[in-house]
A and B are shown apart, each in its own frame.
Chain A
């Protein structure tokens, strides 16, 4: 009996020892080779799934490139990339981060949505977990000295770009319809502020919808009612606009809106959440509606690219792998993996030390190789400045860029006149 107990205890101890040894620094092979893990937490399901798929694929490409570089340089470590799904939901994203942290992971690429990034913040701050979002733009997350970095600008820059687009479209009275989460609320607030500065009236009816919404019959009917009420007040249809701030759920919204004739005669402004949306292109009714109403979106304009930039590499890879044009944020994802890898290469798998050198390493690397161009981070750890491309659908239902908004001068530069 005692002998059996002893054997059980021995096996138990062995199992515990093996489990403890399964951390991110577990040797991958002989010769003292180390493996360091970065986890990409992206929305592979939910309303950002197109963006999530793109970023996951780009992160894999970046990890492969990093490992090729490490091998070529004769380094004694390799990068292990794990991909996990946040389902575009805060609690899911947080549970994934907690689970990976439990396995010893301290570096994360993503999440993409501000709502998810917000959910992870307290846990990351408390445990010194460094995570970099390629696309979280909420001004609410511009916090100095936290553990969240963002390789995109905040909506304090996008808000004026949307307001300028509304002005250019001749809008004098604007109705907001937006997803009620951290990102949606932040961008709606920033856009409303900028609209006021441009003298555009904001409708007192605010259409803030549930982010988990999958059916939009009531929302479209309400919007139609708000437009009718504005017309009844004497505002002509062509001076009315709607700024719909959402992700891919805007597609079923548009399918429903297409059933109301007068909604085809107002201006439709979008955001970076719908720019280059593959979901929109895949749904013909919504795509044709978006084309007919000149649905205009704003999207981070990649900074000026060098000859060695990885922009084309990322773009071609997604076209080959997924058969579509990738979104602007996926270029940031490529740069995130590289920035983390270069920092780890310098100071090891230590999040405190990596946090200290990350802004400098990012600047140096992106200045030459950045897929999204040069990245300078501000005091909040967010991309400091950027211009915004406008993105619309052409007659062939393909996305095109008619011009851009200069973030510094607050002026639109049109390449193709659309209004």
Chain B
């Protein structure tokens, strides 16, 4: 696998989780969570602390990152989001509150980096996590493992939302909170669980992304436009769309900048972020509801020259 592709797959898997995290929270609580930036960074630092102080592989600390991310989500919910939701705060207020939370988390991350530097004489401000990885099929293991984990999380999420009682209740609350409340569903618990899942996904996404890029205290801040681009590309109405959007944005960033710079020269490198954002804008112009609004079945049918539809008709007959 060429280096740009393996790095792209790793990065895209992380971005997919963060974009999915943004989408889930937006659907559930109408909150655009800007704190996803620092939550992602916290995920990276959790894994880094594990490997730097206790050894082993980054993968074994992913559950811990998930847990720490979930805790930051719970704190944000009880500290900010819940009181504001109860006061029927406007979307802009909810969004700005997460921005404030993000700044608090960012300061804590900086303090933690100083702590690691001064106490353990580590070098936590620029970390190349890929060095802790192992080789699989002659390539970086993360290029195979992380996309599989990302897809696994998507499947678990799907099963949770469609096959469990709480998942169905969650979907009902997301669809219509008033009606769900009237049916006896505890919307407070649904929001809390949304924050737990979302925080965990964001932190895990950050831990993934640091396996492809340099881990720094501000890595989340630099990548947050792309996390939101992924969520927007996904259509903001579907968690699956958000995850797919994040994956597309991440992969096109790496693939786009590599292929275009090979073709047109190094000047393209300066437009690294512009390439996926352009793709997002172009997709939204054609499909205003994002990836989740693409009539995939219809397209597949037309590509198959109607045979798919014929078979379907045959079955139904």
B213 touches A205 (CB 8 A): no
A256 to B257 Cα, complex, angstroms: 15
What's the least CB distance linking A198 to chain B, in Å? 24
Interface residue B261 (Cβ < 8 Å from any Cβ of A) = yes
A323 CB → nearest B CB, Å: 4
| CB pair A205 B266 closer than 8 Å | yes
Distance to closest chain A CB from B63 (angstroms): 26
Once A217-B3, A221-B4, A251-B128 are accepted as A-B contacts, the answer to whether A207 and B266 lie under 8 Å apart by CB is: yes
- Interface size of A by CB at 8 A reads 45
Q: How far is the CA of A47 from the CA of B123 in the complex (A)?
A: 13
Please name the residue on chain B nearest to A256 by beta carbon. Answer: B3
Q: Does A212 contact B (CB under 8 A)?
A: yes
Q: How far is the CB of B53 from chain A (nearest CB, A)?
A: 15
Q: How far is the CA of A285 from the CA of B69 in the complex (A)?
A: 30
B112 within 8 A of A: no
A324 to B3 CA separation, bound complex (whole angstroms): 33
Of the candidate stretches A29-37, A275-283, A344-352, the one touching chain B is A275-283
B11 at interface by CB-CB < 8 Å:
yes
Interface residues on B, range: 35 or more
Q: Select A279's contact among B2, B123, B213, B222, beta carbons within 8 Å.
A: B123
Interface membership of B219, Cβ < 8 A: yes
**Within 8 Å of chain B (Cβ to Cβ): is A22?**
no
Inter-chain contact A213/B272, CB cutoff 8 Å: yes
CB <8 Å contact, B131 and A283: yes
Known: A45-B110, A251-B126, A256-B3. A222 touches B266 (CB 8 A): yes
B166 in the interface, Cβ–Cβ < 8 Å? Answer: no
- Complex Cα distance A381/B222, Å? 35
Which chain A positions have C-beta within 8 A of B123?
50, 278-279, 282
Q: How many CB-defined contacts (below 8 Å) exist between A and B? A: 104
Question: Do A215 and B121 form a contact, CB below 8 Å, given A208-B266, A248-B126?
Answer: no
From A215, A259, A283, contact of B212 by CB (8 A): A215
Query: Smallest distance from the beta carbon of A222 to chain B beta carbons, Å?
Result: 6
B295, CB-defined interface residue at 8 Å: no
Do A217 and B4 touch across chains, with their CB atoms under 8 A apart?
A: yes
Residues of A within 8 A of B213 (CB): 214-215, 252
Complex contact B272–A45 (CB within 8 A): no
Question: Which residues of chain A have C-beta atoms less than 8 A from B8's C-beta?
Answer: 217
Contact residues in B for A278 (Cβ distance below 8 Å): 123
Are A222 and B262 within 8 A (Cβ)? yes
Cross-interface CB contact of B218 among A45, A208, A215, A219, cutoff 8 Å: A45
Question: Is residue B307 contacting chain A, with contact meaning CB distance below 8 A?
Answer: no
Choose among B2, B118, B126, B269 the residue that contacts A209 (Cβ–Cβ < 8 A): B269
A68 in the interface, Cβ–Cβ < 8 Å? no
Given contacts A49-B125, A221-B262, A282-B123, contact A180 B218 (CB under 8 A): no
Query: How far is A45 from B131 in the complex, measured between Cα atoms in Å?
Result: 21
Q: Which residues of B contact A47 (CB under 8 A)?
A: 126
Are A218 and B125 neighbours in the complex by a CB distance under 8 Å? no
B218: A residues at CB distance < 8 A: 45-46, 87
The answer to whether A53 has its CB under 8 Å from any CB of chain B is yes
* A314 to B: closest C-beta gap in Å: 18
Instruction: Known contacts A207-B266, A283-B128; decide if A45 and B258 are in contact (CB<8 Å).
Output: no
Taken together as a complex, chains A and B put the C-alpha atoms of A252 and B128 apart, in Å, by: 7
Q: Which residue of B lies closest to A206 (CB)?
A: B266
Contact, CB under 8 Å: B3 / A222: no
Shortest CB–CB separation between residue B253 and chain A, in angstroms?
9
A49 to B123, alpha carbons, bound, how many Å? Answer: 10
Task: Give the contacts of A85-99 with B (CB-CB under 8 A).
Answer: 85, 87
User: In the complex where A45-B217, A249-B214 touch, is A218 in contact with B128 (Cβ < 8 A)?
Assistant: no
B254 in contact (CB, < 8 A): yes
Check: B184 CB closer than 8 A to any chain A CB.
no
Is A225 at the interface (CB under 8 A from chain B)? Answer: yes
Q: Compute how far the CA of A324 lies from the CA of B123 in the bound complex, rounded to whole angstroms.
A: 11
* A interface footprint on B199-218 (CB within 8 Å = 1, 0 otherwise): 00000000000001110111
CA distance A208 to B267 in the complex (A): 7
List the B side residues contacting A323 at CB < 8 Å.
Answer: 121
Interface string of A45-59 (1 = CB under 8 A from B): 111011001000000
Contact with A along B110-147 (1 / 0, CB 8 A): 10000001100101011010110000000000000000
B residues in contact with A251, CB < 8 Å: 126, 128, 214
Q: Are A219 and B269 in contact (CB under 8 A)?
A: yes
Q: Which residues of B contact A252 (CB under 8 A)?
A: 128, 213-214
**A182-206 CB contacts (< 8 Å) to partner B:** 205-206
The CB with the most chain A CB atoms within 10 A, among B123, B218, B261, B270, is that of B123
Select one of A85, A210, A282, A285 contacting B270, CB under 8 A.
Answer: A210
- Whether A231 sits at the interface, judged by CB under 8 Å, is no
Judge whether B257 and A218 touch: CB under 8 Å: yes
* Residues in A neighbouring B3, C-beta threshold 8 A: 217, 220-221, 256, 259
**Are B266 and A180 within 8 A (Cβ)?**
no
Sample of 11 further A-B pairs with CB below 8 A, known A46-B216, A49-B125: A87-B218, A209-B266, A215-B213, A219-B269, A221-B258, A222-B261, A222-B266, A249-B214, A282-B126, A283-B131, A322-B121
Shortest beta-carbon contacts, A-B, top 10: A323-B121, A282-B123, A49-B125, A217-B4, A215-B213, A214-B213, A214-B214, A218-B258, A217-B7, A207-B266
Question: What are 17 A-B pairs at a CB distance below 8 A?
Answer: A45-B110, A46-B218, A53-B117, A85-B110, A208-B267, A209-B266, A213-B272, A214-B214, A215-B212, A217-B7, A221-B262, A225-B262, A251-B126, A252-B128, A279-B126, A282-B123, A285-B131
